[in-house]
Amino acid sequence: MNREFVWTDPFDDISDEELDDQVAKLLRSRQSSVAISLRVSRDLLGRVKREAARAGIPYQTFMKGVLEAGIARIERGAPRSKRPTRTAARR
């Protein structure tokens, strides 16, 4: 059973102006982002890239998601792990 694939343009029924308006609307609703430079160890970058590949997304997108989730957790006041403080660790 060999069927030939026929591609159908999902935007075929709208005008170029309507498509331009839709694209402009999407771009306006996007949050703007700022480029930053961040130094991380090669090991950490490798681990991030590995996990991003497992998730099937670009590693920078993965990093933004992890950062967003971490900050959201802190803002919610989620309990932190019981790790010794610096002064307690020195004793």
**Structure confidence at residue 7 (pLDDT):** 72
pTM check: above 0.75:
no
Rounded Cα distance, 61 and 50, in Å: 13
Whether 38 has a pLDDT exceeding 60, the answer reads: yes
Mean pLDDT of 23-40: 84
- Give residue for tokens 């005008």: 15
b/e sequence 4-16, b meaning 16+ C-beta within 10 Å: eeeeeeeeeeeee
Mean pLDDT of 37-57: 95
Mean model confidence pLDDT for the chain? 82
For 33, half-sphere exposure in the C-beta direction (CA atoms, 13 angstrom radius) is 7
